[in-house]
């Protein structure tokens, strides 16, 4: 048996026979897991019963991120450099399966409240879709906000700040 045959290739899960209404009610279903390894074909095939409510939260969050991004794109316009703009605020976001990373938010004319209005809009959009916002607070050499002022700004908008090697910001939907 070659070395390659020991490497995990894929795991496929099949959820058997429930309607969306039954899944929403948290009914039990049969899950078949098929494990494949390179050079070995199907290695094992396991069946288990699981409560669908365990998976429903994850699936709903994926759909929420998708609908969040659709509304975000509709409510903003593209910039020449691939970012999005709304009412004098430029956003850089990175969607993930279950959350959105706020990479950067920048007011075109800083100091007049546009950044706060833009972040309020983004937070409201996240709340409407049940999506968590996360990122790293960094003033990017801003002449308007010091790091302390930036952390206070995020805190006023409902973000929690975790200080480790970076200043992580995280906001659960309200």
Task: Identify the residue whose tokens are 């365990």.
Answer: 54
Paired tokens of 133: 């916002």
Please tell me which residue, 5 or 171, carries the higher pLDDT value: 171
The topology under which CATH files domain 57-171 is: Aminopeptidase (3.40.630)
pLDDT at 61: 56
* Domain residue ranges in the chain: 3-51, 57-171
Cβ contact 119:86 at 8 Å: no
Average pLDDT on 145-169 reads 94
Model-level pTM?
0.66
Task: Name the nearest CA neighbour of 133 among 168, 167, 104, 101.
Answer: 101
Give tens-digit pLDDT for 119-135.
999 999 999 999 999 99
Paired tokens of 20: 């969306």
Q: Give the three-class secondary structure for 53.
A: helix
Average pLDDT on 154-164 reads 96
Beta bridge partners of 91: 84, 105
Give tens-digit pLDDT for 53-94.
444 454 555 568 999 999 999 999 999 999 999 999 999 999
Cβ contact 52:29 at 8 Å: yes
Give tens-digit pLDDT for 93-117.
999 988 999 999 999 988 899 999 9
Paired tokens of 127: 């709340």
pLDDT at 28: 42
Per DSSP bridges, beta strands 132-136 and 99-107 are parallel
Alpha carbon 165 to its chain's center: 22
């Amino acid at each position: 048996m070659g070395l390659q045959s020991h490497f995990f290739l894929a795991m496929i899960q099949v959820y058997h026979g429930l309607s969306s209404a039954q899944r929403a009610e948290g009914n039990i279903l049969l899950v078949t897991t098929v494990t494949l390894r390179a050079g070995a074909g199907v290695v094992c095939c396991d069946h288990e019963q699981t409560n669908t409510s365990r998976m429903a939260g994850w699936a709903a969050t994926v759909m929420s991120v998708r609908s969040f991004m659709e509304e975000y794109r509709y409510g903003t316009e593209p910039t020449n450099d691939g970012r999005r703009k709304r009412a004098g605020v430029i956003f850089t976001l990175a969607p993930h399966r279950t959350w959105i990373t706020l990479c950067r938010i920048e007011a075109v004319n800083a100091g007049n409240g546009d950044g706060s209005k833009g972040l309020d809009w983004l937070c409201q959009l996240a709340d409407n879709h049940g999506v968590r916002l996360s990122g790293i607070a960094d003033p990017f050499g801003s002449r308007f906000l010091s790091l302390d002022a930036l952390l206070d700004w995020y805190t006023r908008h409902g973000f929690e700040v975790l200080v480790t090697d970076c200043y992580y910001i995280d906001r659960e939907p309200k």
